[in-house]
Amino acid sequence: MSIDVRAPLRARALGAALGALALAHAAPARAQAPGSLDAEITRRVAEVQPRVVAWRRDIHQHPELSNRETRTSQLVAEHLRSLGLEVRTGVAHTGVVGILRGGKPGRTVALRADMDALPVAEQVDVPFRSTVRTTYNGQDVGVMHACGHDMHTAMLMGVAQVLAGMRERIPGTVEFVFQPAEEGPPAGEEGGASMMVREGVFRDPKPDAVFGLHVWTQPVGQLFVRPAGAMASADNLRIVVRGRQTHGAVPWGGVDPIVVGAQIVGALQTIASRQVNVTTAPAVVTIGSFQGGVRQNIIPDSVVMLGTVRTFDDAMRKDIHDRVRRTAEMIAASAGATAEVTIREAAALTYNDPGLTTRMTPTLERVAGSAGTRPSPLITASEDFSYFQREVPGMFVFLGIVPPGTDPATAPANHSPKFFADEAALPVGVRTMATLALDYLMGGSGR
């Protein structure tokens, strides 16, 4: 699929016109009432919009992998300090936390953005495309913001500037959390949201609620949210099948782990399709890597399989783990081989607090309009924002970034080398996060 992005990019200059046009499209008329906080947010978002675009393009052109976000975190920290925020750096390696204390007493709300890129070589023809290459797991790879974290970081930097300019009117405290390693830390390292939590990101102050936002392949400027389970839990699966090496011409002289592994792969597919009640919640068991052997006429000693398990229900999650272990071990035993199964949690269930989501959905409707706010489908991708939601009530919102005239169903998805995000979504995201924070601190979703 080919997308001509240069023309729309030229048409969207770095001026305030972009912010004004996008906001006029996104905001209902009543949000523009003179003297209201909504009107002030709208004005401030338009003012900061050129900087948000510039930050986004700079971060996009200089992507950094998980736990390596040193340049990005420095950019963020310098900006937060320039606004007079209390800034903490080095959280979970490269994370940055900024504290904005309002002019009036009140509660605390946290806003989160992730900063890391992916080992993907960009194939989108934009002036600020990434040409960065680095080493990842021993391989030379391209690096690209193929999941929109460049937009998340730039938008939250914009939110910090908007709210810092209104601090005397804010009843409470806003905590800005810029998180590294959402895509998962490198092998042998710790990182991400769970590490930030362990290092006390929510200890002082402790937020009463946390909000996050993620760009997604939906129409630009639209917002999507659902209460309760929104994104699946993710577990990393590793199965090592050990047989006995022999000549390929005399397979009876050993135990073939490749054949045993193939039987296990096939049997694992019956867990979700035949063994669990999929009317309770969907589930996925995928084997994404199968490695074994070095030569055509040698049956190897062992094979290694890597995969993922995705679920939306904790009881089903445990049941599937048990079934995976039993299936692999028993099939291996039946052939005289062994199977060693390791299942490690990669992300918990992203769970939107139902009460908080119901209360704050009118805020989303004020930003994007009732027609621009939709229920989100269940998403089998995962997010480690879930670890923040384990600490305090949270809500995770999706923001559409597919340009007009492009079918979202055919647009390159997140993690694709052709992933493209329309910058017209940026002011909508800034306004969404700023308005959520203020509405929550003021005790409601309307003013």
> Angle 359-150-47 (CA atoms, 0-180°, nearest 5)?
70
CA dist 335 and 331 (Å) reads 7
**442 to 170, 282, 434: CA distances (angstroms):** 8, 38, 12
Q: Which amino acid is at 202?
A: F
The whole-angstrom separation of Cα 425 and Cα 411 is 16
Residue 175 is a catalytic residue: no
Rg of the chain taking only CA atoms, in angstroms: 24
Tokens of 192: 């991400």
Helix (H) / strand (E) element for 333: namely: helix 314-334
Task: Name the active-site residue from 38, 69, 122, 182.
Answer: 182
What is the spatial distance between Cα 389 and Cα 207, in angstroms, rounded to a whole number?
Answer: 11
Phi, psi of 373 (to 5 degrees): -120, 120
CA dist., res. 218 & res. 115, Å (int): 21
CB 236 within 8 A of CB 343: yes
Contacts of 4 (CB under 8 A, 6+ apart): none
Q: How far apart are CA 317 and CA 235, in angstroms?
A: 9
Cα separation of 27 and 431, whole Å?
9
Strand-pair partners of 101: 173
| Catalytic residue (choose from 116, 175, 183, 422) | 116
Nearest CA to 350 out of 60, 114, 98 is that of 114
Closest CA to 110 of 191, 242, 207: 207
Whether residue 13 contacts residue 54, with contact meaning beta carbons closer than 8 Å, is answered with no
Closest-CA residue to 349 (of 228, 186, 198, 233) = 233
The yes-or-no answer on residue 182 being catalytic is: yes
Asked whether 263 and 384 are in contact (CB, 8 A), the reply is: no
446: left (phi over 0), alpha (psi -120 to 50) or beta: beta
CA angle 315, 319, 322 (to 5 degrees): 145
Helix (H, G, I), strand (E, B) or coil at 190: coil
Taking the C-alpha atoms of residue 42 and residue 27, their distance in angstroms, rounded to an integer, is: 9
Residues designated as active site: 116, 182
